[in-house]
Homo-oligomer: A and B are copies of this chain.
Amino acid sequence: MTGIRGEQKERTRRAILDAALSLSDGSALVALSLRQVAKEVGIVPTAFYRHFPSIEDLGMALVEESLDTLRTLLRELRRTAGDDFRSIIDGSVTVLVTQVRQDQAHFGFIARERFAGPPAVREAIARGIELAERELAIDLAHLPGTDQWSEEDLRVLSTLIVGAMVATAERLLTAGSGSDAERKVADTARAQLRMMLIGAMQWRSRPSP
């Protein structure tokens, strides 16, 4: 499969994906035309079909790629998790900032298409986020203090945390890299994680505030 020909094809395919990512930034996937992408890549419009049957399929490829980097983020979060609360919180926010910066185009794509994309794309993104929530619920169950928690309570907390992290990622995309705004977003995220975990620790011992 890989020869001079295979390499060249792969390179063009990547160029198409990158062009689509950069062109749809600032707008949406649906506003993308096959001809624009082809012009950006430097190929003739009809050559596009050698790689994708339609723009729709290009979109699905971008979703899968973007969800892949989302899964990388989750893996990285688990891999670097410390023992005490403080290091878990600080480490997680640092990893989040790093990964969002590293794959800004993918996270931006997810943010844009989550609600504005075609149905298949929306569903794929929703499943990706649900997966993150389920995995976090499992991790939370291993924390001290959640021994007696119901599945339901674990789900409630994990969706709360994931939601806050998604909001943080979206704010990071708006803030410039290395800016004061970025530091402020990170500080806010840390404080919010602390608040949520304090609430969680007091949860069953004091169920209603």
Contacts and interface: CB of A to CB of B under 8 A. Distances in A.
Contact of A195 (B26, B86, B196): B196
A201 interface: yes
Interface residues of A, number: 47
A61 interface: no
A192 B209 CA distance: 12
Interface of A is mostly: helix
A115 B112 contact: yes
Given A28-B31, A192-B159, A202-B202, A170 B209 contact: no
A119 interface: yes
A198 B206 contact: yes
A116 B108 CA distance: 10
A114 B166 CA distance: 14
Given A166-B167, A195-B199, A198-B199, 5 more contacts: A30-B31, A115-B116, A116-B116, A156-B191, A160-B196
